[in-house]
Amino acid sequence: MGTEKKHWAKEVVRRTKQRDDIANSRFIQKKINRLLANIAKANATIIDFQLQLIDYWSYANSDALAQRVATLIAEKEKTNQSNAQIASSAPITTTTTAPSAITTSNVYKDPVRETVDRIESQILDYIYKNTSHVKKMFLSRIQLAKAEMEEFKALEDFEQAATPSQWNIHLMLKSKVKLYSTKNKNYSVATKRLEYDILPKFIDKIDFSFKIDESIVGKDEAQAMYDQMRKTTKDFRTQAMTLYIQSLAREHELLSNEIKRTIEHFPKDNDEGFDAEAGYASFKHYHELREKRLNLELEQSLHFLEVQRVEGESNNQQEEIIAPTPLRVLGPEFLLQQ
């Protein structure tokens, strides 16, 4: 898009800090060359692994393959002997039969190659399945870049058609939409965290626990107290997360309603000799594309939670608190003496 359509995506501008065609083209070309080099390196690595797998499988199954071939040869000789005996004992007839059109061809299939192909297919299926979220992320980045370009062109069209009052309202609304985007991301991330059971760090780090003197309190009673500590911690985290989401939802609701009211009262009628209808239509189209871009940015902001969910790196795993047994209380000196 940058070299052909003269539009640079925001992620490129963030890296180069400018929209200069020459500087950005150099940056993009450098990235492309590095990517091609990495692809070639990965391809060479895969080919090397394929050769190693074939060598290993051939070596590991050479004895079994030789035994299998010997068995097949023995079965073939036995079958030939049986066919010869049947042919010698059968009566001689003068009836001639047309040769059968069906011929069987014994095609030798390399068992090592078949096994290696099957293993490679299973590995590829595993890679495709466990990297689908990465593919989704990069497709989202491409869609976001295209949405940014469409939004920028719509903004240019609106700037040409907008009346002074429409443009002033747009400038006032711009900061609110930016704030709404941040609040919407926070609310959506918190909701997804609750759905995936991945608490934020400022809530997850809260842990209500303390040691109980086992020399005074019995083991069963101490274990009951430890269980109560875990329950208290879990209940507090649940209540804290609920209150946190409620506050984010309220902020999101108020700001969203304010933006909707502003758009509903956007100037549509002609005033002071300006054609407001064309400006309103341009603004409506621009705002729809802006919402599309914001939704794509929201999907990207939720990607890290998808990765944590796939990799199982949820940080709300609670360790069970177990009361110390008498063996643990005795200490290392006693264990060494034993």
- Give me the pLDDT at residue 187, please: 94
Token pair recorded at residue 233: 């911690």
CA–CA separation, 320 and 207 (whole Å)? 12
CA–CA separation, 6 and 20 (whole Å)? 10
- Give me the pLDDT at residue 130, please: 80
Look-up of token digits 């890296």: 15
Neighbour count for residue 187 (Cβ, 10 Å): 21
What's the whole-model pTM score? 0.65
Contact 187, 248 (CB under 8 A): yes
Contacts of 164 (CB under 8 A, 6+ apart): 274
Domain ranges within the chain, ordered by starting residue: 136-337
Rounded to whole angstroms, what are the CA distances from 2 to 11, 138, 144?
12, 17, 14
Contact 236, 208 (CB under 8 A): yes
| Helix (H/G/I), strand (E/B), else coil: 271 | strand
CA–CA separation, 296 and 188 (whole Å)? 13
- Give me the pLDDT at residue 189, please: 92
Model confidence over 311-336: pLDDT tens digits?
654 444 444 444 444 434 444 443 44
- Give me the pLDDT at residue 50, please: 82
CA–CA separation, 263 and 118 (whole Å)? 59
- Give me the pLDDT at residue 324, please: 43
Residues of the chain with confidence (pLDDT) below 50: 92-105, 313-338
